[in-house]
Amino acid sequence: MKVTDILLIIINFAGSLAVFLFAMKLMSEGLQKVAGSKMRAVLGKMTGSPLNGILTGTAVTAAIQSSSATTVMVVSFVNAGLLTLGGAVAVIMGANIGTTVTAWIITLLGLGEGSGYFDLPLLIAAASLVFFFAKRDKMRSVGQTIIGLALLLVGMRFLQSAMPNLSEYPSLLQGIASLSGFGFWSVLLFVAIGAALTCVLQASAATMAITLLMLHNGWIGLDVAVALVMGENIGTTITANIAAMVAGVAGKRAARAHLVFNLIGVTLTLILFRPILMVVQMVFPNDAPMALSLFHTMFNVLNVSVQSWFIPQIVWIVTRMVPEKKEEKESDEYRLTYISRGPVNTAELNLQSAKKELQLFSKQVLHMYAMLPELRSVKNAKEMNAVVERIARYERLTDRMDMELTKFLTAVGSGDISAHGSERISAMLCVSDNLESIGDSIYQIALTRKNKYSDAVHFSDGQNANLAEMSALVENALLVMDGNLVDYDRADLRAAKDAERAVNACRDRLREEHLDALRHNRYGYEVGNAYSGLYAQYEKLADYVINVSQAITGEK
């Protein structure tokens, strides 16, 4: 074989693979946009029984055609403390079953003599949807999905034509045959090759397509193809582990659970390799690609059926694989929980992760606000400084959270996303900005309290009672805001406005009483300045609080 021949084969194959990968991306993103809001709702309720988690993972992955997208989301949810590690393991198991749908699509529609029958009709149908329903988001997304499926089938035909005829290159056939001649060691070798290839391509569907084509063209036998598929199941775990690199301990454990599950599954299957191979060959004796697709489904279904009974043990294993460091445990209260970001673009589903992160952001702000009353009961300057420093640490945390969320949402919004998703991103950016401003306001209140203490300024019992009343009203507004962040579609804007009006009314009353007190010299300038500054800061904080609820509901 000449060097030029090898280069041509590589170039043709790489181009065909690029078409296939683009088609998978197009189809997956289209499906995510079609079912985006429903998928977000489903992924937000992954906290039930192991069976519910498995069914959820299966359904979501089958719907969006991307197990990597599902596992990356799971890592981010666990990292944010919104999904237990046991629940994450169950969802990951289900994702492994859901991803087998891709192999059946490729086998049934993309191989054989009839593989080109659906390409043109699908493209015409998709073009019609896009043309006639150009202004309807849902129809455009359906059209994108169909175009993706059509291009996937076209990509499969390109891959088939790019595969060289081995009868013309006997040395290549002999090389593959030599690798298959070491019995069980050859099986292990091809498991490693499948894992490595999937790690490089970052798409198990592409590796599966290549394996099916090699099997269909007679390059490899069913035993080698089965070994490659097992390796692909190990290789696909790299995506979640890359996503977990910026995650906390919990996120890393979820990613390791994906790896452990597949390693155990491959080990069990290798023990029963020959009996399983005999079963699939008996079902499809004359159709090797169908037999391989059946094996892929059996492999994952049987592994889930067995390992689902041992989820606590898997959790135990990964907990020891990723121990919690002492310094992380001590600083956990103040550590920013980053949104996990992997190499997979899941724009619509990432909004659920951002929503959960904003809920976490709100909890941090509430916790920060709850520290303010401690400033009224400190006994000395040391205690005062300690409380103010804790609040300052939280203020720095809110700055970091806002920065990370803004970067994340901007990146998601720059991708291909529906109009509804784009509106939701704008609202989330506004929410994040106002939550950060609330953190700043709390810190300013703390500094005012500290300065008052340092200057030996003392309020009367009446002033303290008025400030306590104002503080309680602002706390109520914060709690209403926090509740509205749970479900944007059911946010109670009326309750938020009532809470803000109560704060404003209290501010107006305190201002009137304050001006009257100044006119009658009931207290001096320093006391009056500190007092009016505090109730004004509380009212300003409440303005940022109502902005959050207005952003959620879309009110300008």
Three-state SS for 101-117 is HHHHHHHHHHCCHHHHC
Cα distance between residue 134 and residue 410, in whole Å: 25
| Distance separating alpha carbons of residues 353 and 154, to the nearest angstrom | 34
Cα distance between residue 145 and residue 141, in whole Å: 6
CB atoms within 10 A of CB 103: 25
Distance CA(418)–CA(521), nearest Å, equals 62
As a dihedral over the C-alpha atoms of residue 5, residue 11, residue 13, residue 19, rounded to 10 degrees, the angle is: -160
pLDDT at 547: 95
Report the pLDDT value the prediction gives residue 336, as an integer from 0 to 100.
43
The single-letter DSSP state of residue 324 is P
Polymer length in residues for the chain: 556
Q: What's the CA angle centered on 16, arms 12 and 22, to 5 degrees?
A: 145
What is the predicted pLDDT for the residue at 41? 55
Alpha helix segments (H runs only) across 133-248: 137-162, 170-179, 184-201, 204-216, 222-235, 238-243
Six-digit token string for 291: 């037999």
- pLDDT value, residue 344: 43
Show the domains of the chain with their CATH numbers.
1-34+100-162 (no CATH), 43-98+169-333 (no CATH), 346-553 (1.20.58.220)
Helix axes 347-369, 67-79, angle to 10 degrees: 0
Closest CA to 488 of 37, 22, 30: 37
Read off the tokens for 28. Answer: 């997956």
Buried b or exposed e, range 366-403, using 16+ CB within 10 angstroms: eebbeebebbeebeeeeebeebbebbeebbebbeebbe
Q: Which three-class secondary structure state does DSSP give residue 169?
A: coil
Within 10 angstroms of residue 141's Cβ, the number of other Cβ atoms is 23
d(CA 442, CA 387): 12
CA 106/CA 433 separation, integer angstroms: 46
Q: DSSP letter at 323? A: P
Choose among 36, 39, 23, 34: nearest CA to 140. 34
Q: Looking at beta carbons, which pairs linking 40-49 to residues 24 or more positions away fall under 8 Å?
A: 40/348, 40/349, 40/351, 40/352, 40/355, 43/73, 43/77, 43/349, 43/352, 44/352, 44/355, 44/356, 46/74, 46/77, 46/83, 46/87, 46/88, 46/91, 47/83, 47/84, 47/87, 48/87
CA distances from 49 to 42, 70, 174, 353 (A): 14, 18, 51, 21
Q: pLDDT tens string for the chain (556 positions)?
A: 566 766 777 787 788 778 777 776 777 667 666 655 555 555 555 556 788 888 888 887 776 666 766 776 777 667 655 577 888 889 889 988 988 887 887 787 766 554 555 555 656 665 665 555 555 666 667 777 777 767 766 776 676 666 665 555 555 555 555 666 667 788 888 899 888 888 777 677 778 888 888 888 777 888 889 999 999 888 888 766 776 676 667 778 888 988 999 999 999 999 888 888 899 999 998 888 899 999 999 999 999 999 999 999 999 999 999 887 654 444 444 344 545 554 444 555 577 778 878 988 999 999 999 999 988 888 888 889 999 999 998 898 888 889 888 888 888 887 767 677 788 899 999 999 999 999 999 999 999 988 888 877 788 888 889 999 999 999 999 999 999 998 888 889 999 999 999 999 999 999 999 998 888 888 888 888 888 989 999 999 999 999 999 999 887 6
Residue 471 tokens read as 């503080």
Coil vs helix vs strand at 150: helix
Q: Is 218 left (phi over 0), alpha (psi -120 to 50) or beta?
A: left
> Cα separation of 516 and 496, whole Å?
31
Contact 237, 65 (CB under 8 A): no
- Token readout for 259 is 């790896």
CA dist., res. 87 & res. 340, Å (int): 18
Residue 248 is given by DSSP the state -
As a whole number of angstroms, the distance between CA 356 and CA 50 comes to: 22
**How many beta carbons lie within 10 A of that of residue 422, not counting itself?**
14
Give the CA radius of gyration of the chain: 30
pLDDT confidence of residue 1: 55
Left, alpha or beta for 427 (phi > 0: left; psi -120 to 50: alpha)?
alpha
Q: Can you give the pLDDT at residue 77?
A: 67
